[in-house]
Amino acid sequence: MTRQPWRGVTRFFSRAAGRRIERRSRPRDVLARSRHPLGRRDTSFGVATCDGPRVSAILRLGDPRLRAIARPVDLAAPEFPEAVARLHRALADFRAEHGFGRAIAAPQLGIDLRLVAMNLGDGPRTLVNPEIVRHSDETFTLWDDCMCFPELLVRVRRWTSISIKSLDEEGRLHLRERLPRNESELLQHELDHLDGVLAVDRADGPDAIVTRVDHDREPGRYATMVDR
């Protein structure tokens, strides 16, 4: 089955907004405009810059760069430290503005690297070239969100537990086995980004894409529609 529900998301959200938007519209027109002030663009990383401090612009649903498969990280590359800094800065800024956000993948900033920044409350953590090496047979459904379309929630199905290997910023190998459900689903989301896959591509069943406003208006009803 070919999954292209993100096209339906464009039409669905456009009707809610009371206007028609063509598929070829620029990403900022597909969903609500970003609040980040954008200036000239750094084409090497796809991160916007301003005359003042740099700000990291998270790409919006519909941007073709979100569909690219990221390349492996070269730890010796001179741009690597700045890419890590931009990721962690973007995560912190998003959390401050929206009140949620546990991790971000480099392609969400238009950075073509297999790189993830996380903060689960225990401080910043960087995953370099992460890879799932094991997963459970058991799965579950949940309402997933994404920084690239924070106005929406998507019901997806994820493995209940995964084991993952990655490098840190110093090149040390880390193997984290049988991760708990919350961290497992989060990392599955982020690693999907590294392969150009979005949560809307994994929409599970009918009525699987809802606005956050509708969800928050009736949280009890929507909670019965997922396993957690």
We report the CATH number of the domain holding residue 45 as 3.90.45.10
- Which among 82, 97, 151, 190 is annotated as catalytic? 190
Q: Measured between alpha carbons, how far is 44 from 141 in angstroms, rounded to an integer?
A: 37
- pLDDT given for residue 56 in this prediction: 60
Q: What is the dihedral of CA 212, 36, 6, 144, to 10 degrees?
A: -40
Say whether pTM exceeds 0.85: no
Give the span between the Cα atoms of 104 and 189, in whole angstroms.
9
| Domain-embedded: residue 45 | yes
Q: What is the pLDDT of residue 228?
A: 76
* Three-state secondary-structure class, residue 175: strand
Whether 30 maps to a domain, the answer reads yes
> What's the pLDDT score for residue 53?
36
Q: Is 104 helix (H, G, I), strand (E, B) or coil?
A: strand
Neighbours of 71 (CB within 10 A): 12
| pLDDT value for 131 | 98
Q: Is 190 a catalytic residue?
A: yes
Q: Where are the beta strands (DSSP E) in the chain?
A: 41-42, 47-48, 103-105, 115-119, 124-135, 139-144, 152-159, 162-167, 173-176, 209-211
CB contact set of 128 (below 8 Å; sequence gap of 6+): 73, 75, 114, 115, 166, 167, 168, 169, 171
Q: Is residue 104 part of a domain?
A: yes
Where the chain has pLDDT below 50, the residues are 1-55
What contacts 228, CB < 8 A, 6 or more positions away?
A: 140, 141, 142, 181
Could you tell me if residue 157 is inside a domain? yes
For 146-205, write each residue's pLDDT tens digit.
999 999 999 999 999 999 999 999 999 999 999 999 999 999 999 999 999 999 999 999
Q: The domain containing residue 95 runs over which residues?
A: 5-223
88 is in an annotated binding site: no
Question: Is residue 135 situated within a structural domain?
Answer: yes
Res 85: pLDDT: 96
How many independent structural domains does the chain possess?
Answer: 1
Residue 183 falls inside a structural domain: yes
User: Is there a domain that residue 88 lies in?
Assistant: yes
Q: Cα-flanking dihedrals φ and ψ of residue 166, to 5°?
A: -160, 170
Tokens standing for 99? 């009140």
Residue 228 belongs to some domain of the structure? no
Q: What are the C-alpha distances in Å from 11 to residues 14, 22, 76?
A: 5, 8, 44
Tell whether 146 is in a known binding site: yes
**Given this model, what pLDDT does residue 14 score?**
37
CB 60 within 8 A of CB 147: no
Is residue 98 annotated as involved in ligand binding? no
Given the structure tokens 């809307």, which residue do they identify?
200
